Amino acid sequence: MRSQSQIYSRYFTYIKPITKSPIIRTYGSTVFTLIIITIFIFFAIKPTIETIVVLQKKLADSNEVLKKVNQKANNLSLGKANLEKLPADIKSKISAAIPDTASLKSVIQSLEKTAKAHNASVSALQFQPLVLETKIENQLGKLSEVSFTFNAEGEYQNLVLLLRDLRDSARLIAIDSLTFSKLSSGNGLIMSITGKAYYLK
């Protein structure tokens, strides 16, 4: 088995004549230097290229967000222009349906008036705790809600009519849940409604 020194000697024998070549002696150091510089430049530029790619992606995402924001602004402007074109009576109905304050009084009046119109008696009316805030002028309002529980007693047909009228009431009211239970005495029923009324704040 040949020793390590013999193997290295053999490789050296092959390489030595190449190093003595005039072309290698003239351009070898230059080529080697260019290769080293290229490698260093590549590793120096790589982080910069990666940063540029990341920034381009962020820029594309930002442009997409800006496009959506501009579209939303255009939609709001168009909506405002359409609202201003509405007749005065329609504007008044919208304002009554969704006022710019919680206006609990109008909710109570709607519920009591509807119950009275259909021979139903109000046995309970409770509002959930509500934080009232002063509306800032010339600022677009945010849709908020007032949650309530409403119990009415009456005949089944009357309670059904009461429900229908609540759906069509001047104040916009949404019903979340509805239950019926029989009165302890008589043929009447208790209708329990959990719902909400909307307003702008």
Q: Which of 136, 131, 134, 160 is nearest to 146 (CA)?
A: 131
Domain boundaries, the chain: 1-85, 96-200
The answer to whether the beta carbons of residues 181 and 151 sit under 8 Å apart is no
pLDDT in tens, the chain (201 residues): 455 555 555 555 555 555 566 665 666 677 777 888 888 777 777 788 888 888 888 888 888 999 999 998 888 888 888 878 888 888 788 887 888 888 888 888 889 999 999 999 999 999 988 776 666 666 666 788 899 999 999 999 999 999 888 888 888 888 999 999 998 877 889 999 999 998 887
CA atoms of 153 and 124, how far apart (whole Å): 10
The answer to whether the beta carbons of residues 195 and 173 sit under 8 Å apart is yes
Residue range 96-200, CATH number = 3.30.70.60
- Whether the predicted model's global pTM rises above the 0.75 cut: no
- Alpha carbon 159 to chain centroid, angstroms: 38
